[in-house]
Structure 1
Amino acid sequence: MNNLIYNEQLKLFRKKRLFVIILIVAFLVPIFTYAQYKQVKTTQEKMGTTDWRVQLQQEIVDIQNRLASSRIPNDFEKYLRIRLGQQQYYLDHNINPNTPGAPTFMRVFAENSIGLLLPLLVMVVAADLVSSEASGGTIKLLLTRPVKRWKILLSKYIAMLYSISFIVLCVAILAFLISGIVFGYGGWSMPMLTGFSTRGDELITSNVHLIPQWKYILMEFGLVWFVCVVVGSLTFMLSVLLRSTAAVMGIMLSSLIAGAILINMVSSWESAKYLFMVNLQLTNYVNGSSPPIEGMTLGFSMLVLLIWLLLSLVVSFVVFTKRDVY
């Protein structure tokens, strides 16, 4: 098994897709860093001060003014009320939720990339693990070896898990190293609030507690890894079912983009909470954002994703071990 996994890892590295993905991240992180830097500077110039309390108070006033309008959609009004409650809680407890620093950038980057960017990068790696060998005919040569089919497929899946872990780790390291040049590398022990929950448009703070930011970041990147594994497993299943890598990438790309759109439109479609792409934003439960559909929780979303993952594995192994290769 170790030799099979090593062989699959060599194939992945020879394709150089992992290196391309790292280059993409290394290109995007400076862009996002500059965007956040400009946002901070613009806010400071607009307020005429670097005092975060004044900036937070102004944001609270802006939200209150927007809520005074009778023309905002109900879903957006719900989001604003929850946001208002969170910001007021931070202000009352004298905690700056946006202290500049590389750890803060890592946290924000994870929250904004978990739903689309990182799943897309994982999809690029997993899309042709099996389909490329089926379409190229090399799968026949692989199956002639005196090794059970399920072991061959398992080695490919384990190699994919290693690749996903490598991608997530590189994203965290690059985000920290590059953003730290601008924002500094401090802030690991900054207190963060977690445990927010919602009931309708009401923010529940009874379970809110303080943790250092490094623990908060570990929680978020753990959720990022889990989401990437789920997306990778679904892509892996499609790679087993379909011979065309382009078809695999097209289906997953459509699903992920549809999820990014649906998450803002499905509040009244309750059965949509069982779709995997509606449950990808797991970090929203950590920072207290309202779920796409009322009643959804972190445990529920993780359970739904876990079921999708297990189903994809069952389908993959059953089809691969039973299907005729020609």
Structure 2
Amino acid sequence: MLNLIQNEQMKIYRRLRTWILALLLIAIVVLAGLVSHPGTDEDASDKWKVSAAETIEHNKKELENNDLPDKFKQQMKEEIALQQYMLDHNYPPTDNTLWGGAIRASGIIIVVTLFTVIIAGDMVAGEFTWGTIKLLLIRPASRAKILLSKYLTTLLFAVTLLIVLFVTALIVNGFLYGFQNLGLPQLKVDAEGQVHEGSMLVFTLATYGLKLIELVMIVTLAFMISTVFRSSSLAIGLSIFIMFAGQIITMLLLRYSWGKYFLFANTDLTPYLKGQPPLAEGMTLGFSIVVLVVYFLLFILLSWEIFRRRDVAA
């Protein structure tokens, strides 16, 4: 199995296209960091403190309004506790640090997904396009091992690009914002109004990890499509179309109660991490995970069944 994976890795990294995609990803991260950077401001440290103090005073005045709903009062109390804690410990807002830049860079994972879909769409269909499938199947390895090695290689490529994205984002934003806030904690307010410190690295990795789940599902779908079609260009084109059209279709289907079972309504799990409301009633983290597992198993079984029955001589 390791030899098969190594062979598939060589096929990917031997091609100029792969290195162009990697360099393009790095360029996009650098450009995004430069665009989102507010610029050099010597008084930035004082400005956030003034803004935090103003927020505290504003929220205290708003809390005197008896007509304000309890939900908003609770949010304002939590904001007061958070801002006061930041002032007391001299913790600047995350957005103006390298961690904020790294978290914003997680939105570029869509580019990683796109690049990996291009590779996944070519993994099986490309063998038929170039006529190398017969040479591949005359090996002593079974079709199951061959297909698994191609799938694992695709996931390894995705993880590699994700690591490149994360490391590049940290370095770029470190130079832009400075590395002095590398030890900045992630702050969270509980229901009692107590502020707790957590690891910013763990929070950032969790954000990337949840995005990775979405990446794996889309790549698995693209890999399945690659086993259906003999043309790599058709497989890549269809995979990219489904990837971008998925969210549009989701918005249309969510008008119906059964729309929450659609794949792309559950791929983005980051709202659960941030405590945001779900897209539809009845959707929870557990619900989305179950839906994703069902789709994942379906894609894997279809890929295997189609590849097992594929007539190579045709």
TM range (shorter): 0.7 to 0.9
Structure 2 residue 212 is the aligned partner of structure 1 residue 225: yes
- Matched with 2:13 is 13
- Matched with 1:92 is 81
Higher-Rg structure is 2
Aligned partner (choices 121, 124, 130) of residue 130 of structure 1: 124
- Matched with 2:134 is 140
Structure 2 residue 143 is the aligned partner of structure 1 residue 149: yes
* 2:100 aligned partner, one-letter code: T
8 Å contact kept, 1:126–1:236: yes
User: Structure 1 318/144 Cα, relative in aligned 2: closer, same or farther at 3 Å?
Assistant: same
* 1:50 aligned partner, one-letter code: K
Q: Which runs of 5+ in 1 are unaligned?
A: 62-80, 197-203
Q: Is the partner of 2:198 in helix, strand or coil?
A: strand
- Matched with 2:63 is none
Q: Tell me the alpha carbon deviations over residues 159-197 of structure 1, each in whole angstroms, 9 at most, x when there is no partner.
A: 11211111111110111111211112343443324699x
Shift in Å, 1:304: 1.8
* 1:108 aligned partner, one-letter code: R
Q: Is the partner of 1:51 in helix, strand or coil?
A: helix
Shift in Å, 1:248: 1.9
Shift in Å, 1:264: 5.4
Q: Tell me the alpha carbon deviations over residues 48-107 of structure 1, each in whole angstroms, 9 at most, x when there is no partner.
A: 96225617967x98xxxxxxxxxxxxxxxxxxx99x976863443224653422222111
Structure 2 residue 43 is the aligned partner of structure 1 residue 54: no
Q: Which runs of 5+ in 2 are unaligned?
A: 59-70, 87-91
Shift in Å, 1:144: 1.5
User: Structure 1 276/118 Cα, relative in aligned 2: closer, same or farther at 3 Å?
Assistant: farther
Structure 2 residue 314 is the aligned partner of structure 1 residue 319: no
8 Å contact kept, 1:255–1:277: no
Return the alpha-carbon distance in structure 1 between the equivalents of residues 131 and 230 of structure 2.
Answer: 10
* 1:218 aligned partner, one-letter code: L
Shift in Å, 1:240: 0.5
User: Structure 1 191/315 Cα, relative in aligned 2: closer, same or farther at 3 Å?
Assistant: same
User: Structure 1 31/267 Cα, relative in aligned 2: closer, same or farther at 3 Å?
Assistant: same
With the length of structure 2 as denominator, give the TM-score of the two structures: 0.80
Structure 2 residue 104 is the aligned partner of structure 1 residue 108: yes
User: Structure 1 283/315 Cα, relative in aligned 2: closer, same or farther at 3 Å?
Assistant: same
Return the alpha-carbon distance in structure 2 between the equivalents of residues 23 and 3 of structure 1.
Answer: 27
Q: Tell me the alpha carbon deviations over residues 91-144 of structure 1, each in whole angstroms, 9 at most, x when there is no partner.
A: 43224653422222111221x234x33321221221100001112211011112
Return the alpha-carbon distance in structure 1 between the equivalents of residues 235 and 192 of structure 2.
Answer: 43
8 Å contact kept, 1:272–1:278: yes
Shift in Å, 1:238: 0.5
User: Structure 1 127/259 Cα, relative in aligned 2: closer, same or farther at 3 Å?
Assistant: same
- Matched with 1:24 is 24
Q: Tell me the alpha carbon deviations over residues 296-320 of structure 1, each in whole angstroms, 9 at most, x when there is no partner.
A: 2222222222222211111111111
8 Å contact kept, 2:26–2:164: no
Alpha-carbon RMSD across the aligned residues, in angstroms, is 3.3
Q: Is the partner of 1:127 in helix, strand or coil?
A: helix
Return the alpha-carbon distance in structure 2 between the equivalents of residues 19 and 275 of structure 1.
Answer: 34
Return the alpha-carbon distance in structure 1 between the equivalents of residues 128 and 32 of structure 2.
Answer: 39
Return the alpha-carbon distance in structure 1 between the equivalents of residues 257 and 40 of structure 2.
Answer: 41
Which 10-residue stretch deviates more, 26-35 or 16-25? Answer: 16-25
Shift in Å, 1:208: 9.1
8 Å contact kept, 1:123–1:252: yes
Aligned partner (choices 167, 179, 183) of residue 185 of structure 1: 179
Identity among equivalent positions (%) equals 29
With the length of structure 1 as denominator, give the TM-score of the two structures: 0.78
- Matched with 1:3 is 3
Shift in Å, 1:205: 8.8
- Matched with 1:67 is none
